[in-house]
Amino acid sequence: MGLITKSRIKSPWIVHYSCGGCNGCDIEILACLTPLYDVERFGILNMGNPKHADILTVTGPVNHRNYRVLKNLYEQMPDPKVVLAIGACACTGGVFHNCYNVLGGIDKVIPVDVYIPGCAPRPETIIDGVIMALKKLNEKGSKAE
């Protein structure tokens, strides 16, 4: 395993955007940072700035107003980058699928690499998803080189 590959896998920085969910997934993502789950063990940091991030974690369904925000955040991230759809709503629209203002899952707007189901997914599931995303991240990175 090359140094770059190893570093990439060991240092995933996250930017989180809450599209239009119910907060449940958002707090579960935050909970991942806290002592019980402590994702910093894997080098995961929540950066809050798309320009610094490798992984975009999105919760909630996209609606007519926030899809542009989501797209903009995605575009501002430097390559290689991956997108995680966290929770049922982000995957498909979930319980809000029939709401008039909801477009559906976030894959309607940006390419999604890993879907994490659940309402809300448990922190363990989310961590699992991030680890899966890392594989994709590395594939994308190596392809670019």
**Contact residues for another protein, defined by CB under 8 A:** 3-4, 6-8, 10-11, 13, 15-28, 30-31, 34-36, 38, 40-43, 45-52, 54, 60-61, 63, 65-66, 68-70, 72-73, 75-76, 78-80, 95-96, 98-102, 119-120, 122, 141, 144-145
Structure tokens that stand for 16 in this block: 């989180």
Q: 55, 52, 64, 62: which is closest to 87 by C-alpha?
A: 62
Cβ at position 36, least distance to another protein in Å: 5
Q: From the CB of 85, what's the least distance to another protein, in Å?
A: 16
**Residue 35 near residue 75 (C-beta atoms within 8 A):** no
CB of 115 to another protein, least distance (A): 19
Least distance (Å) between residue 13 CB and another protein: 8
Q: How far is the CB of 98 from another protein (least distance, A)?
A: 5
Query: Which of 9/132 has CB closer to another protein?
Result: 9
Q: Which residues does residue 62 pair with via DSSP β-bridges, in sequence order?
A: 104
CB-wise, 4 or 139, nearer to another protein? 4
Question: Judged by CB, which is closer to another protein: 18, or 115?
Answer: 18
The answer to whether 143 and 84 have CB atoms below 8 angstroms apart is no
Q: What is d(CA 23, CA 72) in angstroms, rounded to the nearest whole number?
A: 21
Closer residue to another protein, CB minimum distance, 42 or 107: 42
The smaller minimum CB distance to another protein, of residues 88 and 112, is found at 88
Q: 106 to each of 45, 67, 94, how far by Cα in Å?
A: 23, 8, 11
Cβ neighbours around 5 below 10 Å, total: 14
| Angstrom distance (rounded) from CA 59 to CA 88 | 9
